[in-house]
Amino acid sequence: MKSPRSKPPAGAPVLAPAKPRPGFPASLASFSPGALTGLAGSPSRPKVAAVAQLSRPVGLGLDSSAVRQAMLTRLAAQGLEHAAVLGALGAVERHRFVDSALVNQAYEDTSLPIGLGQTISKPSVVARMLALLLEGREAPLGRVLEIGTGCGYQAALLGLLAREVYSIERLQALHERARTNLLGLRLHHLHLILGDGMLGYPRGAQYDGIIAAAAGDAIPDAWIDQLAPGGRLVAPMGSGRQSLVVIDKTESACVRTVLESVHFVPLKSGIA
């Protein structure tokens, strides 16, 4: 196992090295992005069950397989039918990403605090946004940018749904926490970046997908610029009442679709 990288100076951006860029050592059992090929579209429930069995990770002091399966059953009953998303949710142990005192709530459909005024989103919200990102598109996606790494849970899921993932976090303490949380996963194509998410990450552009975990008054122009033609952006938007927004970019225009109300932490600039 490789040693973690040394801590950067305060306020300094952490740039990904030349490819390949393993951000940390890593295993998610036998589950890999390639295993998701052909699972997008309108999967059947039997296929969902088969995908969920691709990985049976062992919990850290918690046998979570039964409660994770119950979570998948609830999500499927609520209408989530995307096999690749359900498979990823079944493979990644959410309790690894929350404080030990909250482990027993890890698989409930609730957001949980992760420190610094931030939260890990409800499984149903994460599932909804990931399903929107992949809707009508073949899995795994190509290159994806995540705005707001947080504790690293959604980044791990994206690591199973895309061939290359860049995840940027502005809060250094959370960036380091995510690195620690992800140390046991073999996701060499997942790159964690300390930086200002409002600026996106030009070095990795252009992206087939962009997904954000914080809501601003508007979608930053930098995100649209870094989205590839044919790419899709999924993000909350609004400072008071927030809505989930999907933007599909073509060669000549961007098509915006405003969906249901949501509640996310505010999008902020700078590094702290």
User: 150: helix, coil or strand?
Assistant: coil
Whether 5 has a pLDDT exceeding 80, the answer reads: no
Whether 91 has a pLDDT exceeding 90, the answer reads: yes
Count CA atoms within 13 Å of residue 272 on its CB side. Answer: 7
In order of 28, 90, 129, 222, 239, the CA distances from 124 in angstroms are 22, 13, 9, 28, 22
What single letter denotes the amino acid at residue 146?
Answer: E
Distance of alpha carbon 238 from the chain centroid: 20
For residues 6-30, give the mean pLDDT.
43
Question: What percent of the chain has pLDDT above 90?
Answer: 73
In order of 10, 152, 167, 196, the CA distances from 271 in angstroms are 9, 17, 14, 6
- When mean pLDDT is compared across 9-23, 41-55, 142-156, 238-252, the lowest value belongs to 41-55
Residue 186 is predicted with a pLDDT of 85
Mean pLDDT of the chain: 83
Whether 118 has a pLDDT exceeding 70, the answer reads: yes
The per-residue pLDDT for range 171-210, each reduced to its tens digit, is 999 999 999 999 889 899 999 999 999 999 999 999 999 9
Active-site position among 55, 121, 243, 252: 121
Whether 119 has a pLDDT exceeding 60, the answer reads: yes
Structural domains present in the chain = 33-262 (3.40.50.150)
Question: What percent of the chain has pLDDT above 70?
Answer: 77
Residue 147 is predicted with a pLDDT of 98
pTM for the model stands at 0.80
Phi and psi at 232, nearest 5°, equal -135, 140
Give me 202's structure tokens: 């030009």
Whether 27 has a pLDDT exceeding 50, the answer reads: no
Neighbours of 234 (CB within 10 A): 22
Whether 38 has a pLDDT exceeding 60, the answer reads: no
In order of 19, 152, 193, 209, the CA distances from 203 in angstroms are 12, 21, 11, 15
Give me 20's structure tokens: 């390949």
270: left (phi over 0), alpha (psi -120 to 50) or beta: left
Distance of alpha carbon 247 from the chain centroid: 17
Q: In the annotation, is 55 catalytic? A: no
Residue 64 is predicted with a pLDDT of 73
Phi and psi at 67, nearest 5°, equal -70, -30
